Each structure stands twice: as structure tokens, then as C-alpha cells.
Structure 1
């Protein structure tokens, strides 16, 4: 299990980091995104979507829980904030065991449904528009992804 931190100076760099990450992902990969409101989780996901070839506008699925996008690989963008203290399972296994990429914002609220193998991403505010983005892996596959992101 490895960890790595990167700093982005603005929203554009945060999106570009997501775009670069997209090129390293494989079908079935699950990413969790944590960070305060407005930290850049959706901005990061927009970059990821662009890197996956998604043509539609990506926005936060706060009220729908899951939004699906077609690209080189399908993107399943989840915002599970509204499921805090809920027993509801909206078929997470079907997404996590698919050939798409699952991105889960506020993943701590559905910890019991998450697969063990995933890439955890935490986005934190710094001064101004800069962000510290911490990647932590739970598998050798994501160790390699983190290693590629560093270069």
C-alpha cells in the first residue's frame, strides 16, 4: 500500500491531474474521493471524464446519487453524501463489478459496500486555489497507478 501527495495550483491543474489518471485506469477500477464541499472533487472527476473520452457535461450527482457517462470506458460518478445513516444499497456491487470506472464522492458513508481494492483520493484546501491531493492505494495495481502519476 503506497501513498503519494501532489499539489495543484488551480482548478485547471486539478482537472488535468484527473485527466492524466484516466489514462492509467483499467475496467472495473474504483476510486473514492473525499474532501470538504468545494474542495474540487467534481472538478477532478470532470478531468477524469475528459481523459476517458466522455463528451457530456459532467456535474455533481448530489440529487441523483449516480450519473452514468459513456466514454472509452463507462464512468459511474456517485455522490453518496445523502446516504449518510442510510441502509439503502442502490446496487453498488453492479457498478463496482462492471467494466466501467466508479468514482465515489463521500465514500466514507458507504464503507461497507466498497471493494477492498480501490484508489482512495483525498483533496484538501491549501492557500488560494491550490489543493493537496493525496492518493493511497489498497493494491499492487493502484501502487503502479500512483507510481505512473508521479512521473
Structure 2
């Protein structure tokens, strides 16, 4: 029988963890410490699998059902929801590691040993004030040369020609 919000709110912790089933593989795990988390059980490649869908009340019953349905679609397409989630997590991590600001900062640290202190601080100041606000959070592979040219033109229009030459 499907769960309702009242049943979930009334579920009290016991000495051992227990689950309340909602149907189609979705269940709510109630831990002895009182935490409640959504689980989805499924079979993939003939083996039973389980994936966590989040914590109640952050993830509501409707959200958990929606996530379960999304995971069921992946299984129907022959994809393991757990593996898909791992791939997405790796892609996000790789994207944040390849952010322009991170790479530019690493480059600056590597090069600044060869520069005077004043020159190194000028370059970093130019990055922070003129470049990072426009392209700092974007993955470096997505930034096109024309976008950087537009950033340089903004510096040029401001009349900071020496700064533009340094960051070029």
C-alpha cells in the first residue's frame, strides 16, 4: 500500500532500523537515531541493487517518487542508475577542476616565482578584477577566443592599455 505524508511523519525510530514500503521499489529507511532516508531497490543485470534517493523531509514523498520513476526509466533503458549518478558526479567534479579561475590561479602560482612581486600582484589583480568576473567559473574548454577578446576589449575601452597588454 502506498505511503502518505502522515504515515511518514508518524514513523518513530525503534531499537533497530526498519523500512516503510511505498511500492515499485521505493522505501523509507527509519534509523534508530531518527533519520529517515529514501531508498530505491531494483534489479540490474540479474542482481539486486539499491540506491539512496535522499533524506526526508528534504526530499518529499512526491520528490522521492519522481526520482524513483527517473531511476526506473534508466533501468528500462539498460542503464544502471548508480553508475549514471557516479558518472554525473565525476563530470561535475571534472568541470569544477577545469574552471578557468582554478587553472589561471595554478598557472599564476607556477609563474610568479620567476616574476617580481609587483608584477605578480598586477597580473593577479587583473585576473580578479577584469577576467574572473566574466569567465572565471566556466570550464576552460567552453571558453571561446572571441569571448576572451571581448574581455580584453572591455579593458581597452576603460583605457587600461598596459593592464590589457599584461593579461593578453
TM-score with structure 2 setting the length: 0.24
Structure showing the higher helix proportion among its residues: 2
Structure showing the higher strand proportion among its residues: 1
Q: Which has the higher contact order (CA 8 A, sep 6+)?
A: 1
Which structure has the greater CA radius of gyration?
A: 2
